[in-house]
């Protein structure tokens, strides 16, 4: 028992150390890349009409004249305390800007993930129970079609159908969650659906193949020979044994959802992290870009870390190994 507990603790510690190392590498490469690009925050703040003396004075004031490693460790220390610096383009804290835009991107990602899980699991169960039948063929064809269409194309099609033809949605309408939470969720439903559709197809295909494999396994045939109903077999044997693989694919889908939301925000004119990122790129706002890349990397790494933990809980053999 003590050996199993030690292996479990060791497994989680190794994953946590890998998470921290990944974040450090991402932060260093990001900081180094922006330091190589011509121009810096001082030139962005003062604009093209500033004299070299003015730029140099501001560089000294911001600490940009110090060696790269000194700037990096100073920025890294601030990042660990929640201080990602000051945006050169907006003149406010990077952390404050991210916090203002976070509800939109996070809300879309959560709603899209719920749609993926709620739709993909039942359709995969239906298809896997009768492979090759009409329901399976219809679901498979729809899955291929949806998987091939990019989210921004789906967004344009949905806007055309719901706004131009039926007049149901007003593109660009946005309500803050502090003003009206239900209106805020309503603004995100259609964009989230556009993000979720290709991911539903992806998750469905993976779950279908996993469930078909489980249905053909020996323990399922044994359960059938003991007289258990199909519904009981699905919930007792097929779904639990499919969850280990499903956790991995859903973590990949969630990180992909986050990236897709950055694009869809532009189409629906929503004030999320995607628009903030593009604004930072257009204005060469390096402090803002560094902070956002670190933030997005943190979310992605945490998702994979959480998936590792859930997988180890679902299948203890993984952490023992």
Question: Which CATH architecture is the domain 106-273 placed in?
Answer: Orthogonal Bundle (1.10)
Q: Poorest-confidence range of 38-42, 223-227, 270-274?
A: 38-42
Name the burial class of residue 78, with classes exposed (0-12), middle (13-18) and buried (19+) by CB atoms within 10 angstroms of its CB: middle
Which residue intervals of 234-272 are DSSP H helices? Answer: 239-268
Report how far residue 309's alpha carbon sits from residue 118's, in angstroms, rounded to the nearest whole number: 22
How confident is residue 314, by pLDDT bands cut at 50, 70 and 90?
low
Query: Is 192 within 8 Å of 115 (Cβ atoms)?
Result: yes
Q: What is the pLDDT of residue 213?
A: 77
pLDDT of residue 319: 52
Nearest to 66 by CA among 83, 96, 30, 42: 42
Token output for 26 = 């991402």
pLDDT of 321 > 70? The answer is no
The 10 Å CB-count burial string (b at 16+, else e) for 191-228 is: bbbbbbbbbbbbbbbbbbbbbbebbeeeebeebeeeee
pLDDT tens digits, one per residue of 18-41: 888 888 888 888 777 777 666 666
pLDDT at 182 over 60: yes
Q: Tell whether the model's pLDDT for residue 56 goes beyond 60.
A: yes
For residue 258, give both structure tokens.
């986050």
Name the pTM for this structure: 0.78
Return the higher-pLDDT residue of 293 and 162.
293
pLDDT of 295 reads 82
Three-state SS at 175:
coil
Distances (CA, A) of 210 to 90, 136, 279: 49, 14, 42
CA distance linking residue 251 with residue 5, whole number of Å: 26
The reported pLDDT for the residue numbered 129 is 78
How many residues appear in the chain?
321
Sorted by sequence, the CB contacts under 8 Å of residue 193 that are 6+ apart come out as 112, 115, 158
pLDDT band at 225 (very low <50, low <70, confident <90, very high): confident
Confidence category of residue 43, pLDDT binned at 50, 70, 90: low
Return the structure tokens found at 116. Answer: 């993926």
- Please check whether residue 234 is in contact with residue 125, taking contact to mean a CB–CB distance below 8 angstroms: yes
Q: Is the pLDDT of residue 42 over 70?
A: no
Position 178 pLDDT exceeds 60: yes
Which of 112, 2, 114, 16 shows the shortest CA–CA distance to 312? Answer: 16
Domain ranges of the chain: 1-89+283-321, 106-273
pLDDT tens-digit map of 164-173: 555 555 666 7
Per-residue pLDDT tens over the stretch 57-79: 766 766 666 777 777 887 788 77
On whether the CB atoms of residues 190 and 270 are closer than 8 A, the answer is: no
For residues 161 and 167, what is the distance between their CA atoms, to the nearest angstrom? 8
| In the chain, alpha helices (H) | 2-36, 41-46, 52-62, 68-80, 94-129, 134-148, 151-159, 181-215, 218-225, 230-233, 239-268, 273-282, 286-314, 316-320
- Nearest residue to 255 (alpha-carbon basis) of 301, 292, 288: 301
């Amino acid at each position: 028992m003590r050996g199993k507990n030690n292996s479990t603790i060791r497994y989680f510690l190794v994953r946590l150390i890998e998470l921290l190392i990944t974040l450090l590498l991402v932060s260093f490469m990001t900081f180094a890349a922006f330091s190589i690009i011509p121009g810096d925050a001082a030139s962005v703040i003062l604009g093209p009409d500033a004299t070299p003396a003015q730029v140099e004075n501001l560089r000294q004031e911001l600490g940009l004249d110090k060696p790269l490693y000194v700037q990096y460790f100073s920025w890294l220390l601030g990042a660990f305390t929640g201080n990602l610096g000051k945006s050169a383009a907006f003149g406010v804290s990077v952390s404050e800007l991210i916090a203002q835009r976070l509800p939109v991107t996070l809300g879309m990602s959560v709603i899209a993930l719920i749609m993926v899980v709620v739709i993909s699991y039942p359709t995969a169960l239906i298809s896997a129970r009768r492979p090759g039948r009409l329901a399976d063929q219809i679901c498979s064809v729809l899955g291929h079609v949806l998987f091939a269409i990019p989210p921004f194309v789906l967004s344009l099609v949905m806007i055309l159908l719901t706004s131009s033809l039926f007049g149901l949605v007003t593109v660009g309408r946005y309500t803050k969650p502090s003003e009206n939470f239900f209106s805020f969720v309503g603004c995100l439903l259609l964009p989230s659906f556009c993000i979720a559709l290709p991911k539903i197809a992806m998750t469905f295909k993976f779950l279908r193949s996993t469930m078909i494999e489980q249905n053909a396994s020996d323990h399922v045939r044994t359960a059938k020979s003991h007289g258990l109903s199909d519904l009981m077999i699905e919930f007792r044997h097929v779904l639990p044994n499919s969850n280990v693989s499903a956790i991995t694919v859903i973590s990949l889908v969630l990180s992909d959802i986050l990236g897709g939301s950055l694009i869809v925000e532009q189409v629906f004119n929503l004030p999320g992290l995607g628009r903030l990122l593009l604004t930072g790129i257009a204005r060469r706002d390096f402090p803002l870009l560094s902070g956002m890349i670190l933030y997005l990397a943190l979310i992605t790494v945490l998702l994979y870390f959480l998936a590792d933990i859930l997988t180890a809980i679902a299948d203890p053999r993984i952490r023992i190994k």
